Structure 1
């Protein structure tokens, strides 16, 4: 029995809308806490870990809107919850917040042993601690307000690079990062920030020029979580 617990902001079943697993039925585990402070973040309610926001597991399960509330779950409790909720998906997406602030190995071991595949979505600013079979999506956040650097270890561990773009500077930042860490064979996805037309056009042109791939946040276009 694992004694480790994770601070969960929400847990739900949906369709993965980004990156290599776009279209995959998935169970999302959203962890609380992130110091990176991306200006365009759409989950700012997960940034702070406040004790007054700690609630019961039942309250997290019953959530119907975004809040900063969180509850502690062990890996076994998370697995049991999947069965109670009747979730059918076999792919797990661990996100945040910044999930790599904590060691995700016990959680992924428990889930993989039960027949699930695991994916982590991280900013690349913390060491990625997980199982060898876990798919790691690094969405590198360069020069964010939190002041965190992208780690070489995270870039090396990445199975895919998913980069938000709105301007040419974002593209230049990514190219510099890939060159710095000698990333050559990892699939690169460009994701237009906020689905704006100009950002989308830039992403499409850049993908064609560099033989990269486009990630358009399908879940936002079709109006699901």
Structure 2
């Protein structure tokens, strides 16, 4: 199994339950969902003309649409070659659920890594039972994809981006029509750290006893 890798880097997780945890981010190329506020729009198109050799991804310093194919074993070798210390691996994108992540999970978990996937919940999840699934539901996006009930049931945490009350209302409808598992952690994340969005998220989290996710990495100005 080959995966279209846009970039890989070591940092701390800045969102959700694992905020503050050292992590290796594996960003895959390709996403048809089309969120207007997406801060990684360069990962949307899986353009063959942007494919480069694996060496072109290592140490990538600027955001771009270039990508390279990596197998699970090549990715594990890259972790070791880069002398990464973190044992928490975040598979993100793009939309990583477009790909079968089970071979990648088997390779990395056998080497002592813990996996987390960040997904919109619009594609079937092909992950290991141990993978921590973060579903960030994307509703009424230009791509026209629907959030899958099976993704909501599999999610360990549901991290929902909000800016206005209509987003809360839409989320309430989703929770009613696609109920999550009983132990799923629900977090609200203000879009782009806008003051009004942050105020709304804090107010709602207090009222509902939900969590707040604030994209810590953007406040710290790190990846």
User: Is structure 2 residue 113 aligned with structure 1 residue 97?
Assistant: no
Tell me which residue corresponds to 1:205: 203
Q: Distance in 2 between matches of 1:193 and 1:186?
A: 21
Secondary structure in 1 matching 2:90 = strand
Tell me which residue corresponds to 1:128: 125
Tell me which residue corresponds to 2:191: 193
Q: Distance in 1 between matches of 2:188 and 2:90?
A: 19
Task: Report Cα offsets for 1:172-223 as digits up to 9, x if no partner.
Answer: 1111111112234311010000001000000000000111000000000000
Listed as ranges, the gaps of 5+ residues in structure 1 are none
**For this pair of structures, how many residues does the alignment match?**
222
Q: Distance in 2 between matches of 1:182 and 1:65?
A: 39
Provide the aligned C-alpha RMSD in A.
0.6
User: Is structure 2 residue 80 aligned with structure 1 residue 83?
Assistant: yes
Runs of 4+ in 1 over 6 A off after TM superposition: none
Q: Distance in 2 between matches of 1:185 and 1:58?
A: 42
Listed as ranges, the gaps of 5+ residues in structure 2 are none
Q: Distance in 1 between matches of 2:9 and 2:135?
A: 22
- Once the two structures are superposed, the pairs formed by residues 152-167 of structure 1 within 5 Å of their partners are 152-167=149-164
Q: Distance in 2 between matches of 1:89 and 1:138?
A: 22
- Under a length normalisation based on structure 2, what TM-score does the superposition of the two structures give? 0.98
Q: Distance in 1 between matches of 2:128 and 2:183?
A: 21
Shift in Å at residue 151 of structure 1? 0.3
Shift in Å at residue 63 of structure 1? 1.1
Contact 2:152 2:179 (C-alpha < 8 Å) held by counterparts: no
Q: Distance in 1 between matches of 2:125 and 2:209?
A: 27
